[in-house]
Structures are given as C-alpha cells and as structure tokens.
C-alpha cells in the first residue's frame, strides 16, 4: 500500500541502499544519481517510514519533554524554547527534524517514571525534565537510577529547573541529619562526562533572597510566605533564600517564620487564595506576602481584595517567575524574572548536543528582580 524505499529505488533505477544514502545524506552519491532519486521521491510522494528507520539505525528523532502542566505558561515557555532548538539542524535546510514529545506529569514522580518508560520505549534521543523534583526518598532514588541508566545508555538527559541529581541525594541526607555518607549511598558522579545527566538550574534561593530583601528594605517586618507544596525542591530553595534574607537582616525568629509560612497544595491560583486566608487568620499583622509564583500571587491578590485589603497600600504582594501576564495584572506584580526561554533553549541545545556540556554538568541561570506596583512601603512604617 504505502510507498517504500524499494519503490523509489525501482523508479530511479538504483538500489534501495542508494536511496537511503541520498536521503540520509551521510554517504557520497553522484549528483546525477542523487537527482534521479530525488525526483523519484517527489513523484511518488515518498515518506520515510520512521519506525523502520529507527529500528535499523537504533535511534529515533524524538525528544521527550516532561512538564508538570503544559497549560501553565511557565512550562509552556520552556517547552516552546526547547522545541525551537529542534529546528534548523537539518542537513540541507532550516527545517525541523526532530519531534518533541511533551508529557504532562502533573508533578507526580510516578508519572515521571511512567513517561520515562514510554519515552525509553520510543528510543527517544533525549529527555528534558522540567519543574521541581519531589523530595520523596523512594521515588527520587528510583528516578535518579533510571535517569543515570538512560544517560549511560546514550539517551541525553537534561534537567531544567530542577536540582542536579547529586544535590537531591545530598539534600535528602541533610534533611535526615546524616551528613556522613556510607559507601553504598555515595552519589554516582554526574559530571560533564559523556552519558552524564546535565542540569540547567534556576537560582531560586537567590531570587527569593532578593525579593525578601526588597520587602525588608521597603520597611516590611511581617512578611508572610504563601509557599508551594512542601515536598518540592523549588519550594524549599525559595524558602531557604527567603529565610537567609531574613536572617541577614537582623536575625531570624524561627517560630515566627514558621507561623508566617503557609504551604499551598500546588502552584495555582486557588492555592494562593486559600493560602492567604489561612495566613491572615494566623498572622493578621502581615503587611507583605511573598507568593510561591506569579500565578499563586494572583490568588493572593484576589483573596486580599476580597478581605477588603488593598494591594499594595495595605499589603504588598510579590510573585516569582515573571510570566507574561504579570506585568498586566492588577496591580502589576513585583516579581523575580527567571530566564525561562533562555533556560529552555539551553536545555534543548544540551539535549541535542549542539552545545558542549558545561564542565561540572550544570549551567546556572541568573535572575532579575522586577519591581512593579504590587509592592510598596507598609502603611504605618512596619
């Protein structure tokens, strides 16, 4: 039924090997022959059989991207940037040659594992994992093992916006108060060597630090934090940055910090809404709220508005990420801009191998404090 290489070969009067060589372009073919083949391809409207080609060549031109939620612009922007790198790498033209498989994991480690298997089944050339990892000893260990094995097997693995594998292991131990390492738990090296798991990291600590410092400088002393889910690395890192800033600015009252921190169930608007109600119930003296991210900040603002509090006159609000809508929100959000597009592009290049991997296997991205209308000095000076 379908046109095959042999059909093209017959029409061009050559062998199928020659046709294959013309199409893959990695073997010298005389110009006259090439033209004949190309014409036959055109005339027959031949389309390569990808699976057959992948089987024979033991590699496919599929690249997987794992995201928490593709409907969230945070991930949409990263995915889009990764995709952008899949183009123009063609032998002979600025045409996309690889296909991106986008997988919604909803942030669940099980789903990540499942999709990893599916991607492995497809013999994907590379996999980019985005979004903070869940700090679940069981799953993250399983995930790390799988990733390392895949990487060792030749699949390029890039973590984008999640901590390097080692860090996760280290963190886990740190949380358990076990700083010494047994031989068996010594993390496998994930350095820049071939087959390594590469990382493109955001500076969540630094960003939260900058934001908190900004609020402190404005004069705020009662800064609430409507954080993301407690088990996510991103949440932890941002909280760490926040607390480090508090500490640097005249000591940190751990109990108070604890009371002023509310963990949401997710990174969505309603988490911000619910979280804010809880926060203000616990600590009505709050004059500023740091949100887990911009989307959450929208929910924070909505809740405050509903409670009759004005932003920023009564309460300042800050987001994180600087998504496109943040500048147009009401009021425009003070936030930290993460170079999402750049990070995605970098991850894509690393995944394709068009960018040499960094020395230590990790590329750190910067951040930028963006001050807009949602933050202002507290009303009564604190």
Partner DNA sequence: CGCGGCGCAGTAAGCGCTTTCTACACTCAC
Partner DNA sequence: GTGAGTGTAGAAAGCGCTTACTGCGCCGCG
Which residues of the shown chain bind DNA in the complex (CB under 7 A)?
A: 1-2, 4-6, 13-18, 20-21, 23-24, 26-30, 32-34, 46, 48-49, 52-53, 55-58
Element of type H or E holding 24: helix 16-24
Does residue 92 bind a second copy (CB under 8 A)?
A: no
First vs last C-alpha separation in the chain: 77
Nearer to DNA, 4 or 270 (CB): 4
CB of 38 to DNA, least distance (A): 12
What burial class does residue 175 get, using C-beta atoms within 10 Å of its C-beta: 0-12 exposed, 13-18 middle, 19+ buried? Answer: exposed
Decide whether 94 or 308 has the Cβ nearer to a second copy. 94
Residue 133 per-residue DSSP state: P
Neighbouring C-beta atoms of residue 234, cutoff 10 Å: 22
Residue 116 CB, shortest distance to DNA, in Å, is 17
Query: 270 contacts which partner out of a second copy, DNA, none, CB within 5 to 8 A by kind?
Result: none
At which residue do the structure tokens 């496998």 appear? 188
The smaller minimum CB distance to DNA, of residues 31 and 255, is found at 31
The least CB distance from residue 118 to DNA, in Å, is 14
Nearer to DNA, 11 or 237 (CB): 11
Residue 24 binds which of a second copy, DNA, none (CB < 5-8 A, kind-dependent): DNA
C-alpha distances out from residue 226 to 62, 160, 267, 317, 320, Å: 38, 24, 10, 10, 11
CA distance 371 to 336: 8
Q: For residue 152, state whether it binds a second copy (rule: CB under 8 A).
A: no
What is the distance of C-alpha 304 from the center of its chain? 30
Least separation in angstroms between CB 332 and a second copy: 7
328 binds, among a second copy, DNA, none (CB under 5 to 8 A by kind): a second copy
96 binds a second copy (CB under 8 A): yes
Q: Which residue has the tokens 């009505």?
A: 284
Output the smallest distance, CB 290 to a second copy, in A: 18
CA dist., res. 51 & res. 368, Å (int): 45
């Amino acid at each position: 039924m379908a046109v095959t290489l042999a059909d093209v070969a017959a029409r061009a009067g050559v062998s199928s090997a020659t046709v294959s060589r013309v199409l893959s372009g990695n073997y010298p073919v005389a110009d006259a022959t090439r033209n004949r083949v190309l014409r036959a391809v055109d005339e027959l409207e031949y389309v390569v059989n990808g699976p057959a080609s992948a089987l024979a060549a033991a590699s496919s031109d599929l690249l997987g991207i794992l995201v928490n939620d593709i409907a969230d612009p945070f991930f949409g922007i990263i995915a889009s940037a990764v995709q952008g790198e899949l183009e123009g790498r063609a032998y002979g033209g600025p045409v996309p040659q690889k296909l991106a498989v986008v997988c919604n994991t909803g942030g669940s480690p099980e789903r990540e594992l499942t999709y990893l298997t599916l991607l492995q089944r497809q013999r994907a050339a590379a996999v980019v994992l985005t979004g903070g990892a869940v700090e679940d000893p069981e799953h993250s260990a399983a995930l790390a093992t799988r990733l390392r094995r895949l990487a060792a097997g030749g699949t390029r693995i890039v973590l984008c916006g999640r901590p390097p594998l080692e860090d996760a292991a280290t963190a886990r131990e740190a949380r358990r108060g076990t700083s010494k390492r047994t031989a068996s738990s010594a993390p496998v090296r994930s350095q820049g060597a071939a087959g390594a798991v590469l990382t493109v990291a955001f500076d969540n600590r630094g960003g939260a630090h900058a934001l908190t410092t900004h609020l402190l400088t404005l004069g705020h002393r009662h800064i609430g934090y409507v954080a993301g889910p407690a088990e996510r690395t991103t949440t932890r890192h941002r909280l760490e940055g926040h607390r480090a800033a508090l500490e640097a600015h005249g000591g940190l009252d751990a109990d108070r910090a604890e009371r002023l921190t509310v963990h949401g169930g997710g990174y969505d608007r309603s988490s911000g809404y619910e979280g804010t109600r809880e926060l203000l119930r616990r600590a009505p003296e709050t004059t500023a709220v740091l949100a887990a991210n911009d989307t959450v900040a929208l929910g924070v603002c909505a809740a405050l508005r509903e409670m009759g509090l004005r932003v920023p006159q009564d309460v300042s609000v800050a987001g994180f990420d600087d998504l496109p809508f943040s500048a147009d929100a009401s009021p425009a959000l003070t936030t930290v801009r993460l170079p999402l597009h750049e990070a995605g592009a970098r991850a894509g290049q690393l995944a394709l191998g068009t960018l040499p991997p960094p020395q230590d296997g990790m590329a750190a991205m910067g951040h930028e404090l963006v001050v807009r209308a949602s933050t202002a000095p507290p009303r009564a000076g604190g």
